[in-house]
Structure formats: structure tokens, C-alpha cells
Amino acid sequence: MEPPPQTTDAGVRRMPYIELAGKRVETDQEGFLLNADDWNVEFAQSTAKELGVPLSQRHWEVINFCRTDFKASGQAPGPRRLTKYGGFPTKELYELFPGGPGKLAAKLSGLRKPGICV
Amino acid sequence: MDPVVTTPSPQAAPKTFNGEVVERPPRRKVALICSKGSLDMAYPGLILANAARMSGIDAVIFFTFWGLDIITEKKMDNLGLSTVGNPSMGMPTILGSLPGMQTMATSMMKKNMAKLDIPPVREMIETLADSGAELYACKMAADMMKLEKKDFAPQVRDIITAMDFFDKSKGASIIFI
């Protein structure tokens, strides 16, 4: 039996990855994509299925808004931005994403977790 | 030598079999006791509760003593930031006690929060209620200050005792602010 894999450089941890569209894409320890450009529809669908979120038209509207807002502001929008600028009422966001709209919407949109707690 | 392949954390990912969800992990819960009524001490509880909700964690908030100011209709828009006896303010008490200093410090804090798009207290309470957090007022404190349910924001579910609060926070991590 082979010994467990060693890191090549002393102290360097290899990042987790997933297979997406035939290529290896890096993620963080929780499965958030490290690079927003690696996102595609298939990632959103398979992640949504894993998390038990049935994707509807309204979910896609939130995801599209998240990706557009990320380009404008440089980070995933928190629920307040989604409500204030995206027009998605807070109650609806929590119904669409019961596991927490901040983290889930960002994950499904291929973005890192939002950097703000509102 | 293969890189590490990760799976989503147990909190986020229900167990699936052939794509069907078969088992969900237990829900996390956090219970906050908000006992202070100054502007700088109101936000930690509200932001923590909101961050919990954003992560899918249930939240119960128990407002007691000066924390009742955060949910009292007449006071929640006018919470102040004390400049006296607060070593974190970085100014000597004799300066902090001059007329107008508290108003100025409060106003500065509100401006800084608005720049970061952090909502005022009233809006945070509304958002928390919409997100599913449960807000309660402490009965003993309400009796002491002669407050009734009608004096509180409509988002406050009920006035309850500390024992009721412990029933509601079963299994939760309790945070005292």
C-alpha cells in the first residue's frame, strides 16, 4: 500500500477542487468556488441538488442579480443588498433559500461568502 | 499524488442518495440576551442574530433591562452613544461630559454605519423578524419600566419570563450582550 500523499512544498496545503466542464476548478473547504469566472449553470444545478434547493425562475433571478452585483461591487451581495437593490423582499429570500440566503445564494452563484453581515 | 477532494460541510449538505435528500443535519440555534441600550451595544446582538439567520441558524433574541430600549417604539430611533466612562472612546471623561458631545458621537457613529450600508435599528428589527428570528421582551424588565406589548415594535412576538426564554433556547448557544 502506498504511503499517504505528501505535499511537495513544505507547509503548502493543496486546495480542494471539483471537476467542472471537464476541468479542475478550485474551491474552498466548504465548496465555494475560489474564482467566480469558473462558474457555469451546471455547477449551480448540481450544488442546488446537493443542498436540497429546488431551483425555480425566481432562484435564477437571484443568482443572476448576485453575479451582476458582484461585478459592480467586487463581492457577493448580502441579503440587505439583495432586498434594497435587487428588489427581493427579505421574507421571500428566506423562503427561497432556507439554509440562509447570504451563504446559499453566493454559493450557487459561484461567489465567495459575502463579506458583510447584513 | 491527488489533490484533496472536498465535500460540502455537514451543516450545509443534507445526506443524499441518487440525488434525493434522505437525511438533514440537526438545525443549529443561537439565543441572544440583549441587556444594553446604547447604540454601540445594540448592534452586536442584532448583527449576530442577522448573521446567524444568513447562515441558516435559528435565532431567538431576549431583550432585557436597557435592551428593551432597542425594541421600544419611542426609544429605538434615538439610542445614544455614551462618551462618558467609556475608555474605548479615547477621550478623557471631562471632555466627554461637555454638552453636545454625546449627540455628536452618536451622530458620527450613525453616519459611519450608513456609509457601510448598515441599517438603522428599526430596520434591523424588521429585517430580523422577516428573516424568521424570534424577538421577545423580558417580563420583569417590562414590569419595572411599566411597558406593555403595545409599547414595543410590532415585530416583538411576546413578553416572556426568563424561564420561558430558557425553554425557547433549548439546544441553543446562549450569548449574553
* Better-predicted residue by pLDDT, B90 or B40: B40
pLDDT at res. B23: 61
Identify the domain containing residue A34 by its residue range.
17-108
Higher pLDDT, A28 or B144: B144
- DSSP H/E element including B12: none
**Confidence band of A48 (pLDDT split at 50, 70, 90):** very high
Task: Report the C-alpha gap between A69 and A75 in whole angstroms.
Answer: 8
As a whole number of angstroms, the distance between CA B123 and CA B10 comes to 32
Tell me whether residue B169 is in a domain: yes
Residue B89 belongs to a domain? no
Q: Which of B20, B21, B54, B127 to mutate to test the interface with A (most CBs of A within 10 A)?
A: B54
Residue A24: what residue type? R
Rounded CA gap, A102 and A68, in Å?
A: 16
Per the model's pLDDT, the better-predicted residue between B93 and B139 turns out to be B139
- Residue B143 maps to a domain: yes
pLDDT of residue B127 exceeding 90, the answer is yes
Give the range of the structural domain holding residue B171, as residue numbers without chain letter: 26-80+120-176
Confidence check: pLDDT of B62 > 80: yes
| Cα B177 from Cα B31, distance rounded (Å) | 11
| Residue B19 in this model has a pLDDT that exceeds 50 | yes
Highest mean pLDDT among A49-58, A90-99, B151-160: B151-160
Q: What CATH number corresponds to the domain at position B60?
A: 3.40.1260.10
Q: Do B8 and A89 touch (CB under 8 A)?
A: no
- For the whole model, what pTM was predicted? 0.82
Q: How is residue A59 written as a grid cell?
A: 432562484
Whether residue A66 lies in the annotated active site: no
Mean pLDDT of B79-88: 89
pLDDT band at A6 (very low <50, low <70, confident <90, very high): low
A93 in a structural domain: yes
Chain A closest CA to B55's CA: distance in Å?
A: 4
* Average pLDDT over every residue of B135-157: 97
- Residue A117 included in any domain: no
Q: State mean pLDDT over A74-99.
A: 92
- Is residue A2, in this structure, part of any structural domain at all? no
Is the residue at A29 inside a domain? yes
pLDDT above 60 for B93 = yes
- Tally of structural domains, chain A: 1
Q: pLDDT at position A1, please?
A: 60
Whether residue A19 is predicted with pLDDT greater than 80 in this model: the reply is: no
Give how many domains chain B has, as a whole number.
Answer: 1
Residues of A in contact with B7 (CB under 8 A): 31
Among the listed residues A61, A43, A36, A16, the one whose alpha carbon sits nearest the alpha carbon of residue A108: A43
What average pLDDT score do residues B138-153 get?
Answer: 97
Between vectors from CA A75 to CA A73 and to CA A76, what angle results, nearest 5°? Answer: 110
Is residue A59 situated within a structural domain? yes
Q: Do A30 and B116 make contact, defined as CB atoms within 8 angstroms? A: no
Interface contact B8-A50, CB threshold 8 A: yes
Nearest CA distance, B59 vs chain A (angstrom): 12
Given a cut of 90, whether residue B89 has pLDDT beyond it is: no
Closest residue to A100, CB basis, from B3, B48, B56: B56
Residue type at A39 in one-letter notation: W
Instruction: Please report the DSSP string for A39-87 in residue order.
Output: --HHHHHHHHHHHT----HHHHHHHHHHHHHHHHHSS---HHHHHHTT-
- pLDDT-based confidence at residue B122 (cuts at 50, 70, 90): very high
CB contact under 8 Å between B117 and A80, yes or no, is yes
Between residues B37 and A15, the one the model is more confident about: B37
Q: How long a stretch of residues is chain B?
A: 177
Q: For residue A89, which residues of chain B lie inside 8 Å, CB to CB?
A: 130
Q: Is A99 on the interface with B (CB under 8 A)?
A: yes
Which residue of chain A comes nearest to B130, CA vs CA?
A: A91
Cell numbers placing A32:
465555494
**Alpha helix (H) residue ranges in B19-176:** 39-54, 93-96, 101-115, 121-130, 139-144, 162-168
Q: Which residues of B touch A34 (CB under 8 A)?
A: none
Q: Does B98 fall in a domain?
A: no
Domain contains B36: yes
Task: Tell me how close the Cα of B100 comes to any Cα of chain A, in angstroms.
Answer: 30
Dist CA B87 CA B177 (whole Å): 18
pLDDT for residue B164: 97
Q: Who has greater pLDDT, A35 or B122? A: B122
Question: Do the chains contact at A118 and B7, CB–CB below 8 Å?
Answer: no
* 3-state secondary structure at position B84: coil
CA–CA dist B58, B51 (Å, integer): 10
Per the domain annotation, does A103 fall within a domain?
A: yes
Q: How far is B38 from chain A (nearest CA, A)?
A: 20
Please judge whether A50 and B118 are an interchain contact, meaning their C-beta atoms are less than 8 angstroms apart. Answer: no
